[in-house]
Amino acid sequence: MSFYDLIVSRRTVRQFQQNPIDEGILKAMVNAGRLAPSAANHQPLEFVVVTEKYLCQKIYPFLKWAAYIAPEGDPKPGKQPVSYIVTLVNKQIKTDGYQWDVGAANENMILAGWEKGIASCWLLSVNRKEVTKILDIPNHYLLDSVLALGYPEEDPVAEDMDKSVKYWKDGNGRLHVPKRKLDQVIHFNGF
């Protein structure tokens, strides 16, 4: 598969097989995140990889999933993530303007995982206080987001949409994700 095809085939997944992810794949994903662009090359990001089943189960209740179709979009019992990568910002390095670093790092990790068949859901609706306690994260770190991971147990599809951004599940339970059409978002040589 070409890199372009890898990018356009990626969708957010919220139902996961329960097969563990090889530690080497998780390390490669974090390495891809570590090597992402960083504003002024400050590199304020660090990552906590969670693979222990009991920790994954402790974290799960403090994550919010597909708001447009909740609770139907939540992972079903037995289909929850098998690993997480938690993105942290070291506040001793940077306290603002780190969001671009986070976006670049997470997209790199998502694509590096997808290349190996690992699906993901990038979660920003996180009870940061509770997850910080569970993982014993020091006070000088800000928990930015959580990347939920596993082999996919669903096959979402992108749909060209004109108006609504709300995703939905069809009668067969397949997730449909509306995306603005290319001709609505591309402008050559000015607006």
Residues 171 and 105 in one domain: no
Model pTM? Answer: 0.94
* CA 69/CA 71 separation, integer angstroms: 6
Q: Is 78 left (phi over 0), alpha (psi -120 to 50) or beta?
A: left
Q: Are 12 and 65 in contact (CB under 8 A)?
A: no
Residues 139 and 163 in one domain: no
Range of the domain at 165: 156-191
Residues 90 and 11 in one domain: yes
Residues 114 and 189 in one domain: no
pLDDT digit string (tens) for 125-183? 999 999 999 999 999 999 999 999 999 999 999 989 878 889 888 999 899 999 999 99
Residues 137 and 53 in one domain: yes
Residues 161 and 148 in one domain: no
pLDDT digit string (tens) for 79-114? 999 999 999 999 999 999 999 999 999 999 999 999
Residues 167 and 140 in one domain: no
pLDDT digit string (tens) for 14-72? 999 999 999 999 999 999 999 999 999 999 999 999 999 999 999 999 999 988 888 88
